Each structure stands twice: as structure tokens, then as C-alpha cells.
Amino acid sequence: MREGGKILAEIMAELETKVEPGITTKYLDKVATDLVLKYGAKPSFKNYQGFPDTLCTSVNEELVHCIPSNRKLQQGDIISLDLGVLFKGFHSDMAVTVPVGKVSPDALRIIRVTKKALKRGIKKVRPGKTFGDIGNTIQRYIEDQRFNVIRDLCGHGIGKEVHEEPQVQNYGKRRAGPEIKQGMTFCIEPMVAKGDWRLKKAKDGYGFQTRDNSLCTHFEHTLVVTQAGCDVLTNLQ
């Protein structure tokens, strides 16, 4: 998983450099597919529960799991890229939200807040803490910044399957939920809305978007719990 996580981080860094006005989300999917195969890995999401492609590409009010298409990105859009790789029998999962060209201050701010919420959640991970401690930390920070936590979707365990127990919610109470134990591998993925946190199906019939069409963001890392805390497996290092 350390090897696979490093591969995924390198692929995502390359994908971020390709985001610019005028390209299609289908183009980003092709770049992702070529890179995954180049590294000797396999795409985790392709054919998973009917998903037809390698990369999830969700734009503006779209949150997660949207199918790449011939849609061209426009100046001022934001796009969430969500990618999983299978390497030597184990999965890694990662997501980032990227500005397309010059974007509004509001868009930059929600991206910055979501990224920071992920960092704060990760800092809570160590043996003896609970998953409620993670969710509570993420929720309090996001709501303090006057955004809303998506509640219909959450992070997850990961390993031989891309989605495993436990669920890793982005809200909750301190000291609630299962205890975090050394050796666990899971994904933390705060999802944040500028407006209402409730979701509906996206136009493609597969992904999800905010019900009120407000801007939303998504960041995700895969990590392993260590004796002293955790190691983020999808960091470039």
C-alpha cells in the first residue's frame, strides 16, 4: 500500500498540471488511465458498481463520482479529481479539488478550508482515539468557517477492497464510534458545500451534486495507523 500510495500521489500531481480551461474531463481520464497502466497498476474504480472509467471528474456543484465526458472546463470552474489504484493486490484512494484558471475568492476559500480540514482530521489519528474524534474535528472546523459538511457520504476503510469498514464520517461526537487501532488503513475525505449539504443525483445519473447547486469540494488521503500516529500513504515524499 505504501508503494501504491506513492504511485497514486505521483499520478495525481501530474493530473493537476493538466487542468486548464478548454480541456475535456474525458481527456483527464485518458491521461489518468495511461499513467496508471504505465506504473504497472490497475484503476480501482473502472467497472466498480458500473462506473465506466478510471477517474471521477466532478465540476462545481458536482461533488463525487461523476463520469468523464466531452464537457470542456471553463475559466473559473473548480474540478474534483478522485482516483483509486490497485497495486500488488491492494488499493489506494485519493481526491483533490483544483481551480481551473483564475477562480473566485469564494472558490479559493472553500478549497483551502476543505484541504485544511483534511489535515486537521489526519492529526487526530492515533491508537486509542476514535473515529468520532476525527469527524468532530473536521465538522467543527468547517462549520466555524461557515461552510457545511456533507453527511450523505463519508470516508472508508481500504485494503484488498477499495471500500471496506469502518465508515469514516466527517461529523460526529468526540470519543464516539469505533476505536482507532495500530495497523488500520483507511481514507479520510472531507466533502464540503458552500450552501445546503444535501445531495441529489448528478445529470449523468451516476454521480452526486449538491441539491441547491451550490459549490462543493472534496479532498482525500489514504493512511495507515502507526504506534505514534499515522503515515499518509498518498503524500508525495
Give residue-wise pLDDT tens across range 45-102. 999 999 999 999 999 999 999 999 999 999 999 999 999 999 999 999 999 999 999 9
Helix residue spans in the chain (DSSP H) = 2-18, 25-38, 105-123, 131-144
- Copy the grid coordinates of residue 141: 472546523
- The domains of the chain are located at 2-232
Task: Indicate left, alpha or beta for 193 from its phi (over 0: left) and psi (-120 to 50: alpha).
Answer: beta
Residue 205 exposed, middle or buried by CB count within 10 Å (0-12, 13-18, 19+): exposed
Helix (H) or strand (E) holding 193: strand 191-193
Which residues, other chains included, contact 218 with Cβ-Cβ below 8 Å and sequence gap of 6+?
Answer: 58, 63, 64, 80, 82, 95, 97, 114, 189, 190, 191, 192
Task: Give the predicted TM-score (pTM) of the model.
Answer: 0.96
120-175 pLDDT tens trace: 999 999 999 999 999 999 999 999 999 999 999 999 999 999 999 999 999 999 99
Q: Which fold has domain 2-232?
A: Creatine Amidinohydrolase (3.90.230)
Distance CA(101)–CA(178), nearest Å, equals: 42
Q: How would residue 236 be classed by pLDDT, with cut points 50, 70 and 90?
A: confident
Measured from the Cβ of residue 237, the count of other Cβ atoms closer than 10 Å reads 8
